[in-house]
Structure 1
Amino acid sequence: MSDDVTVRGLNIAYERAGSGPSVALAHGFVGDARSTWNSQIEALTDEFTVIAWDAPGAGGSSDPPEGFGMNDYADCFAALLRTLGVERSHLVGLSFGGALVLAAFHRHPELASSLSLVSGYAGWRGSLGAEDAEQRLTRSFHASRLPPDEFAATMAPSMFSPSAAGESVAAFIDSLKAVRPSGFRAMARASLDDQSHVLPEIDVPTLLLYADHDIRAPVAIGEAIHAAVGGSELVVLPGPGHVSPVEAPDDVTRELRRFLHSIEYTA
């Protein structure tokens, strides 16, 4: 069910479907809830209550105010869940969303039953280093000033493997043309924030799901996070690129379901 609610002064659009333990999905700095997580929303609702938001600046949600950082995104995400009556949830984030759920765990640890980072970062500074992170921010700002078609053509090749195809991939690429430049720049700025300090704090089950053709968050980033998070599980998917929930939806859903079962049905 698509809906919206006012959270921390912002209109936040979200999808909610299914019943059972809560699973909250956070998309990356392009796309939105449906273009990113459509397959997982449809598949997981047989066992879980799935909530997927449009982050401030994306989809049907308001643009954030100036200076809105990753801590603000994390607080807004947590406030949305609490507004919806969710006191505890499995938190799943793709790319930017991975850094977001790390920040949410740091600031609201009581909210997280588990963490799943899908092609995620400990922030760009935390996973790429300061110089590469600043270069990525500069490239993102440049891309944000392109016409919609050029923006999509610039971003799409780094989102998928060269062999990516199908309606879902095409729909995601098409969604890039609807990007809101100010919202995209806000998420890019927030992506810069270093979240590596959170990794040693993590004391909930953690899945790290990476893809072997990902050029934005290569497997080495997942390996570094795996080394820093005690008891975490690293899974590498063969074939897809960065936006694996779209390019390899069945594989991502399978691994998420297996991981969630290992928590919910062995506790």
Structure 2
Amino acid sequence: MDTVEISGLRIGYQRAGQGPPLVLLHGAYEDSRVWRPQLEELSDDFTVIAWDAPGCGRSDDPPPGFSGPDLGDALAGFLREVAPRKPHVLGLSWGSGVALELYRGHPHMAASLVLASAYAGWAGSLPPEEVERRYAQILAELDQPPEQFIPGWLPTLFTERAAPAIVAEVSAIMADFHPAGMRALLIANGHADCRDVLPAISVPTLLLYGEEDVRSPLSVAREMQRQIPGAQLVVIPDAGHLAAVEAPEAFNAEVRRFVHSLGD
């Protein structure tokens, strides 16, 4: 695990392989460890860089008043320090919103976007009552021991066919969350709406979704595709919200295909 200081925050990250840089942005209650299948398998073709977002993993918690644009700025600073050249940026679930905040504030920093199980922010993709339900749920969970609430998350992240070892691995990662860091991130962008960013995206964009995703369903995927000029949509069969973990061979194959199609 490496670290770098960005605007006074220590940011932890993992790096593997050589080749075009591919930066991975994890989802909520996660950190860079969730990308183990990508760090192991995509490093044959790419310099794979997986960060721990502020407030997660080995990174420092954000300061009071941290905002969604601040998160995009932190990622931009991180990329300037660690990416050997303009990277391909892959955001998973909540991490897709971080990628969109990066594009909002720094549109020339990414060579392409891969938005997996993505939202245009919760408020940009979900009904208002669902946004408030999710916000209130996480706010309440932050005062609970992880073993009390994480089991309830797992059926929304995986299909019933997911390998028990994979589910257990992700459960252990989620249990290692920072309560203060998650609270800061929830306040920063739990009500994010990035719909205004989507029509402005001019870099090649791949949308990757699990066929059985119940958190970010295919109706959200199709609306993202409609709004982003030229976006490709690929649906991974027999996979849920964490398709990158549940179906890594299919997920990684689509990432390789997309990036190599751009000439890298």
TM-score, length of structure 1 as denominator length: 0.94
Distance in 2, Cα, partners of 1:144 & 1:171: 20
* Change in 2 beyond 3 A, CA 1:85/1:212: closer
RMSD: 1.3
Q: 1:176: how far off?
A: 1.5
Q: Which runs of 5+ in 1 are unaligned?
A: none
Distance in 1, Cα, partners of 2:71 & 2:263: 27
Deviations 1:138-178 (A, max 9, x none): 11111222112113212222111122124232111111211
User: 1:201 corresponds to which residue?
Assistant: 200
SS of the residue 2:108 aligns to = helix
1:168 lines up with 2:166 in the alignment: yes
Contact 2:18–2:47 (Cα < 8 Å) also in 1: yes
Distance in 1, Cα, partners of 2:108 & 2:15: 21
User: 1:111 corresponds to which residue?
Assistant: 109
1:144 lines up with 2:142 in the alignment: yes
Matched ranges for 1:90-101 at <5 A: 90-101=88-99
Contact 1:151–1:177 (Cα < 8 Å) also in 2: no
Deviations 1:181-208 (A, max 9, x none): 1212223331321111000000111000
Q: 1:85: how far off?
A: 4.9
Please tell me the residue identity of whatever aligns with 1:98: S
Contact 1:96–1:191 (Cα < 8 Å) also in 2: no
Contact 2:21–2:85 (Cα < 8 Å) also in 1: no
Please tell me the residue identity of whatever aligns with 1:182: A
User: 2:27 corresponds to which residue?
Assistant: 28
What count of residue pairs does the alignment treat as equivalent?
263
Q: 1:73: how far off?
A: 1.3
Distance in 1, Cα, partners of 2:87 & 2:165: 30
SS of the residue 1:196 aligns to = coil
User: 1:76 corresponds to which residue?
Assistant: 74
Distance in 2, Cα, partners of 1:175 & 1:9: 25
Contact 1:87–1:111 (Cα < 8 Å) also in 2: no
User: 1:256 corresponds to which residue?
Assistant: 255
**Which stretch of the first structure deviates more once superposed, 252-261 or 174-183?**
174-183
Distance in 2, Cα, partners of 1:97 & 1:203: 19
Contact 2:23–2:87 (Cα < 8 Å) also in 1: yes
Q: Which runs of 5+ in 2 are unaligned?
A: none
* Change in 2 beyond 3 A, CA 1:219/1:143: same
Distance in 2, Cα, partners of 1:5 & 1:214: 34
Deviations 1:111-153 (A, max 9, x none): 1110010001100000013332122101111122211211321
Please tell me the residue identity of whatever aligns with 2:226: A
Matched ranges for 1:233-252 at <5 A: 233-252=232-251
User: 2:12 corresponds to which residue?
Assistant: 13
Please tell me the residue identity of whatever aligns with 1:179: F
TM-score, length of structure 2 as denominator length: 0.96
Please tell me the residue identity of whatever aligns with 1:195: C
- 1:183 counterpart (173, 181, 189): 181
1:65 lines up with 2:63 in the alignment: yes
Q: 1:101: how far off?
A: 0.4
